[in-house]
Amino acid sequence: MNLQGKTALVTGGASGLGRATVETLHAAGANAVIVDLPHAPGDELVKNLDERAVFSPADVTNTEEVQAGITAAVEHFGGLHIAVNCAGVGWAARTLSKDGPHDLGVFSKVVEVNLIGTFNVIRLAAAQMASQEPAAGDEERGVIVNTASIAAFDGQIGQAAYSASKGGVVGMTLPIARDLARMKIRVCTIAPGTFDTPMLAALPQEHRDALAAAIPNPSRLGDPAEFGALVKHICENSFLNAETIRLDGALRMGPK
């Protein structure tokens, strides 16, 4: 897909991996619809970009709010061609601890946001993409990129809920790509490792250093811009489909 003039909707787009993705796609000539929670700094990011970016507050589990973001893409820019799912939550708790069994409500919430929220965006974005004809010179109607995690494969102690939610994203990538193939919509997933996001910025420096040292090569935290660069490549490479790509510097997480 040629990104020039296309429109990308990015959930979790106001910070971290989502923000880096917005900035990368926008710099490549795409319009950006930033979808994030109402208190997120979406308006601030729009000011740092230009008239090719809008902020549409939404909870990804809320169908009406997600649909409003898609409607904003159509009304402001004439259509929707790319959807990137970066919204997500994390939680750490053992299945059974000294405090008792894992809170079922917390487990459900993590799955609801990370897995069901991702699918909610996929199904609504795909419906809009399928209603459009491919742009001149393009052989596809749309590209969808999801965010899983290496925890889908190397889940650590306390990551039952998070790993389950991200494993679900990996598991549905192939069947959704098959579902949407006849509509000329591609679907890929990125499974990032440890990245230098605002969440990690709050950790003490010695903890950040230990996380960086655990990454074989390069021995540093991932730069969100590297995530954005992979999203861009997936969009531009029309033979990438139904794939989950680890982006982790060869990190394989131990039990804890």
pLDDT digits (tens, 9 = 90+) for 101-136: 999 999 999 999 999 999 999 999 999 999 999 987
Closest CA to 9 of 74, 70, 51: 70
Annotated catalytic residue 162: yes
Query: Which domains does the chain show, CATH number per domain?
Result: 7-243 (3.40.50.720)
Residue 2 exposed, middle or buried by CB count within 10 Å (0-12, 13-18, 19+): middle
Q: Residues 55, 107, 162, 227: which is the catalytic one? A: 162
Question: Above 90 in pLDDT, residue 19?
Answer: yes
- 5 alpha-carbon distance from chain centroid: 21
pTM reported for the whole predicted model: 0.97
Question: Above 80 in pLDDT, residue 202?
Answer: no
pLDDT digits (tens, 9 = 90+) for 218-229: 999 999 999 999
Question: Above 80 in pLDDT, residue 43?
Answer: yes
Distance CA 248, CA 42 (A): 27
At 229, which amino acid appears?
Answer: A
